[in-house]
Amino acid sequence: MGALSGMGRGIALALAREGVHVVCSDIKEECAQHGFEEDKHIPTHTVIANNGKTSAYQQCDMGNTAEKFTLIELTVKKFSKIDILINNAGV
């Protein structure tokens, strides 16, 4: 998911609060600074880990097939399977 800011960040944090292991991804590694979150300078996967939940990060451009496969491979390697897939990437 585009998890570094906005709706994607909100979805990732909400799922983590419910105990879901979250793999955060975004097109770039830098946090967006235009959001409303007080901790927007901290990557979402770090916020999740700081709250005692399980998370990982993988850079992914959803328009790049190879990067999508890398994201899937990382997720399955780390968590054995994918239960929920959210793609909120877009303009």
Give me the pLDDT at residue 2, please.
80
Give me the pLDDT at residue 39, please.
83
Residue range 59-64: average pLDDT? 91
Q: Which of the pair, 33 or 76, is modelled with greater confidence?
A: 76
Give me the pLDDT at residue 23, please.
96
What is the gyration radius of the CA atoms in the chain, in angstroms?
A: 12
8 A C-beta contact, residue 33 and residue 26: no
CA distances in angstroms from 46 to 36, 54, 60, 64, 91, listed in the order given = 17, 10, 17, 25, 25
Helices within 1-91 (DSSP H only): 6-17, 44-50, 65-79
8 A C-beta contact, residue 57 and residue 23: yes
Give me the pLDDT at residue 4, please.
83
Query: Tell me: the pLDDT tens digits for 13-58?
Result: 999 999 999 999 998 877 777 767 788 889 999 999 999 999 999 9
Two structure tokens written together for 22: 């979250």
Place of tokens 């999740």: 48
Which pTM does this prediction carry?
0.87
